[in-house]
Amino acid sequence: MSALLSLQGVGKRFRGLVAVDRVSFQVPEGAIFAVIGPNGAGKTTLFNMIAGALEPSEGTITFAGAATTGLTADAVCRRGIARTFQIVRPFPALSVEDNVIVGALLHRHDVGAARAHARALLQRLDLYDKRHRIAATLTLPDRKRLEVARALATGPRLLLLDEVMAGLRPTETDRMVAILRELNREGGLTILLIEHVMRAVMALASRVLVLDHGVAIAEGAPEAIVRDPAVVQSYLGAEAV
Amino acid sequence: MIGRFTAGVAPRGALLLALLFAALAAAPWFVNDYLLTVLIIILYFAYAGQAWNIMMGFAGQLSLGHALYVGLGSYVAATLFVRYGVGPWFGFLAAIPVAAACGGAIGYLAFRFGVAGVYFAILTIAFAEFARIGFDHFDFVNGTSGLFLPVSEHARTDLWRLRGSPTMFYYVILAATVAAFALCHLLMRSRIGYFWLAIREDEEAARAAGIDTFRYKMIAVMVSAAVTSFAGVFYAFFYNNLFPEQVFGISRSIEIILGPIIGGIGTLFGPILGAFVITGLAETLTSLMSAYGIDLPGAKQVFDGVCLLIVIVALPEGVWPPLARRLGVMKEPK
Amino acid sequence: MPLDVYLNVAVGGVLTGLVYGLMALGLSVIFGVVRVVNFAHGEMMTIAMYIAVVLFSALHVDPLVLLVPIAAVLFAFGYVLQAALINPFVRRPEHTQFLLLVALALIISNALLIVFGPDARAVQTSYALDSMQFGPVIVDTAKVYAGAAAIIVTAALFGFFRFTLVGKAIRACADNYTGALVVGLDVKRLYALTFGLGTACVGAAGTMAVLIIDTTPMLGPGYTLLAFVIVITGGLGSMPGALVGGVLIGVTEAIAGLLFTPSAKSMFAFGILVLVLLFRPQGLLGRRAA
C-alpha cells in the first residue's frame, strides 16, 4: 500500500521556539493513524501544517503524490484533505443541514444535489433528525459530529481529526469510534487523528506516532507504543498500560 | 426556475409580500404628491440598503463608504448624458464596471493585506472621502460647482431618458427594489450564497471547508458595488443636480446603512422594512416640525442617530426578525 | 518658492501635527487597551473645541488655561460612556460596538449643529496674529504654544503609564486581559478609566486646536478619519507611533497644501494610509501583527 500522506523533515519554528522539530512519517492509504503526546507537544501545529493553516519552516508534505507544502487551507481541502478543529467550529447561526451543505457544495454546483448528499451524511452521523436545528443550540457531542459531517461532505481522501473525542462520555466515544471505523472500512477513508483518549486510540489506530516537545519519539503499532519505555515515561505513565 | 424561487418560503410570508407589493403598485392612485415623493425616497433607501446588505449581511464586510458607488453611478451616467447625450440605461451599463472596479480595488487592498472588520470600514470611508475631494477638483464634471442635468419643460414621460413625472420615477424605483430583492433571494439560495454565509460566520472554518474566501469576498464586494451604482443613476436623473459633497459625503453612506441595521442585517426583508421605518418616521418628524414652523437642520440626523442607537442597544437583530417570528413568517432557518 | 517658505510651512506643520498626534494618541490608548474603535473620536474633539470657544467668549480666558478643566470634562464623558454604554457590550460582535459609536457620532455632530449653528467660530487670543522667529524660521505664535502644550501633555501621559501604579495596571490589562483578571485587577473600572484618559487627550487636543483652526460642528468625521490614518501609519499599539504619525501627517498636509490646492491636502493623508497598508501594515513603529 502506497503512502497517501508523507511528511519529510517537517518543522515549525515560532521566533526561537521550536514547536515541531523535523518530523517524518508516512500514512498509508486506508489506514487509521494516531498522533499522541503530552500537551504542548506540537500535535495541533503539525496538523495545522498538514491542513495548510500554517506554513512549515522546513520540510515537505506530500499528499497523493503531489507536494502540498505551503498551500492555503482551502487549496489543501480542495486537494482532498478535510479537518476538524480542536475547539469545535461549526457555523453557529446556520442550521445543521446548511452547515453540511456548505461542505457538500465544494465539489457540487447544484444546491439540491448538495442537500441530498448532506442528508445522507447526516443520517450516517445520527444527526438527520436535528437537521433543522441551529448549530449554536446543539450539545457538544452533536457539534463534534456536525463538524465531522461537514468535513466529510467535502469528499476527502484523508480526514484530520483534532481531539474529536475530547469531552465525550464513554458511550458517545464508542459511538464515534464505531462511525469512524465504518467510514474507514466501507468508505476507504484514511484517517489521521490527534487523541488523548487512549481507549479510542487503541480501538481505532493501526499505527501510532508519539510526539514530545515537537520531536517524534516513537512510531509503531499501538500495542508496541504503549509498552515503549520512552513513551511511558513522557506521556502515558505506568498505569495506562 | 419558479421552484427554486419559491422553495423554502413560508406561504404566509409570500402572501404578505404579495399584498405589500400590490399596495405599493397601486399607491400612486391613492396618495398625494408629497407622500409619493416620500415613498420614492423610502424605496430608494430600500434599494440601496439591499445592495449594501450583499456586502455586509451576506459576506460580513462592513462598508461605511457605500456613497462611493452611488456617486460613481451618478457621475458616470450624468456625465455621459450631459456631454454625449447617452441615455441613463446605457449610463448604468457603463457605471457597472466602474463601480465594480472600485469595489474590487478596495476589496483587493483589504483582503490581500488582511484588513478586516472595522479597519475595512475605515478603508471604505477613506475611499469615499478620497472620491469626494477628488471630484471636487475634477473639472470635467464641474467639480464643486455641480453637474446639472437638462430638465425638459414638458411633462411627457420618457422612460428611455428617465424624464417624467414623479409617478414614473416611483415605478422605476419600485421595479428596481423588487429586482434587488429577487436577486438577493436567488443569491441566498445559490452556491455563492452559502459560501458567503459560511465566510460571514467563520472565515477560517470556511477555508477549512475548501472555500476560496478571497475570491468570494471579492465577488460580494463587486456585486454589491455594481448593484448600488444604479441608485446613483436614479439619484442623478431624479434630482438633476450633483455636487460631490452631497453625493459622496459620509452622511450619505450612513443614511444607506440605517435601513438594513434597523430592519435587520443579513435578512432579505430587513433593509426594506428598515427603510420604511426610519425614513417614514424621519419624514413624519420633519413634517411635524414644519407644521409648527420649526426649521432645525440637523434634527433629522439626530433622530436617525437616536433610532440607530436604540436598535443597536435593544434590538440587536433588527426590527424584522422578532416581527417575522410574531407573524409566523420566519422562513426555514438559515 | 524660496526654501525658507517651505521651512516655515514645514515647522508649522510639525506643530500642528503634534496636536493631531495628541488627538490620535487618545485613540491609540483607547484601542490599545479597551479594543474599542472610537468612531466618535473626532466628534469628541469638536465638543472640546466648542467648550473652549464658549468659555473663551464668556470668560475671556486663554484656552490653554482651560486645558485641564476641559480635559477633565472630556475625561468624565469618556468614563461614563465606557462604563454605561460600552462595557455591557463587550460580548457583542465587534461591529456592534463600532456602530454604537457611529450612532453617537451622528448625534453629537448634529446636536452641535442645532445648538451652535453652521457658522465658524474663532478664538481671538491676544497673540492670534503674532508670529515668533527662531533663527531663519518664522511660525505663528499660536502654533508654538499649541505644539508646546501638546508635548507637555503627551509627556505627562507617558509618565503616567510608565511610573504610576494605575498606569501599569492599565498596561497589564492591555497585555493580558485574563491575567489581569486573575491578579485581581478591576478590569471594567480600568477600561472606563482608560477610555476617559483617551477622551481627556482629545479634550486637551481640542483646546489647543481652537488656537489654530476655526470651529464648525461638522469637523468630527474628518478628524476621526485623520486620527485613524495617524494611528495606522504610526503603528497600532505604539504611543510614540501616534506622535510620529501625527507629525508626519501634519507636515505632509502642510507642504501639500502649499504645493497643491489647500483643499486637496487631506487626499495626501489617504495616500499615506494606502501606502502604509500596502507596504508596512503594522505601521512605522508598530509591532508585527500577531
Residue B145's Cβ-count burial label (10 Å; 0-12, 13-18, 19+) is exposed
Interface with chain A: mutation pick from B5, B202, B204, highest number of A CBs within 10 Å = B202
Q: CB C11: neighbour CB atoms within 10 A?
A: 20
Q: Phi first, then psi: what are they for B35, rounded to 5°?
A: -65, -35
d(CA B18, CA B3): 17
Range C104-122 burial, b when 16+ CB lie within 10 A, else e: bbbbbbbbbbeebeeeebe
The domain total for chain A is: 1
Angle at C43 between CA C42 and CA C49, to 5 degrees: 90
pLDDT of residue B3: 45
pLDDT (average), residues B43-59:
90
DSSP for B25-61 reads HHGGGTS-HHHHHHHHHHHHHHHHHHHHHIIIIIT--
3-state DSSP of B86-108: CCHHHHHHHHHHHHHHHHHHHHH
C-alpha R_g of chain A: 18
Residue C105: all three cell numbers together: 457620532
Residues of C engaging B, defined by a Cβ cutoff of 8 Å: 37, 85, 92, 94-96, 98-100, 102-107, 109-111, 113-114, 118, 217, 221, 225, 228-229, 232, 261, 263-264, 266-267, 270, 273-274, 277-278, 281, 289
The domain total for chain B is: 1
pLDDT of residue A144: 92
pLDDT per residue as tens digits for the range A137-174:
999 989 999 999 999 999 999 999 999 988 888 888 89
Cβ within 8 Å, pair B191-A111: yes
pLDDT of residue B8: 54
Question: Alpha carbon of C233 to those of A201, B281, C284: distances in Å?
Answer: 51, 41, 6
Strand order across the A215-220 sheet: A81-83, A158-162, A190-194, A32-36, A207-212, A215-220
Q: Which residue has the higher pLDDT, B119 or B308?
A: B308
Cβ within 8 Å, pair B136-C100: no
- Quote the minimal CA–CA distance from C220 to chain B in Å: 11
pLDDT of residue C98: 84
Angle at C20 between CA C69 and CA C152, to 5 degrees: 50
d(CA A183, CA A119): 16
pLDDT of residue B276: 93
Question: Cell 433607501 maps to which residue?
Answer: B45
Residue A201 is part of a domain; what is its CATH number? Answer: 3.40.50.300
pLDDT per residue as tens digits for the range B256-299:
999 999 998 878 889 999 999 999 999 888 888 888 887 788 88
ipTM of the complex model: 0.90
pLDDT of residue A90: 94
Q: Which residue has the higher pLDDT, C279 or B306?
A: B306
pLDDT of residue B198: 94
d(CA B20, CA B41): 17
Q: What percent of chain A has pLDDT over 90?
A: 68
pLDDT per residue as tens digits for the range B176-186:
999 999 999 99
For the domain covering C3-279, report its CATH number. 1.10.3470
Q: Which helix (H) or strand (E) holds A190?
A: strand A190-194
Which residue range forms the structural domain that includes residue B196? 2-327
Q: Which residue of B has its CA nearest to A132?
A: B333
Angle at A169 between CA A165 and CA A171, to 5 degrees: 100
Read off the pTM: 0.86
Q: Which residue has the higher pLDDT, C269 or C110?
A: C110
- Residue B298 included in any domain: yes
pLDDT of residue B2: 45
Whether C290 has a pLDDT exceeding 60, the answer reads no
Cβ within 8 Å, pair B201-A109: no
Which residue range forms the structural domain that includes residue A26? 1-78+192-241
- Quote the minimal CA–CA distance from A80 to chain B in Å: 9
Q: Which residue has the higher pLDDT, A188 or C289?
A: A188
Residue C190: all three cell numbers together: 480600568
pLDDT of residue A1: 52
CB proximity under 8 Å: A 89-108 to B: 89-95, 98, 101-103, 105-106
Whether A40 has a pLDDT exceeding 90, the answer reads no
Q: What percent of chain A has pLDDT over 70?
A: 98
pLDDT per residue as tens digits for the range C79-105:
998 888 887 777 777 778 888 899 999
Give B334's pLDDT tier (boundaries 50, 70, 90): very low
- Residue A140 included in any domain: no
Whether C287 has a pLDDT exceeding 60, the answer reads no
pLDDT per residue as tens digits for the range B188-203:
889 999 999 999 899 9
- Residue A155 included in any domain: no
- Residue A29 included in any domain: yes
Question: How many interface pairs between B and C have CB atoms less than 8 angstroms apart?
Answer: 99
Residue B195 is part of a domain; what is its CATH number? Answer: 1.10.3470
Whether A178 has a pLDDT exceeding 60, the answer reads yes
- Residue A66 included in any domain: yes
Question: Cell 422562513 maps to which residue?
Answer: B331
Q: Which residue of A has its CA nearest to B197?
A: A94
pLDDT per residue as tens digits for the range C251-265:
888 888 777 776 666
pLDDT (average), residues C228-245:
81
Cβ within 8 Å, pair B298-C111: yes
pLDDT of residue A157: 94
Range A164-186 burial, b when 16+ CB lie within 10 A, else e: bbbebeeebbebbbebbeebbee
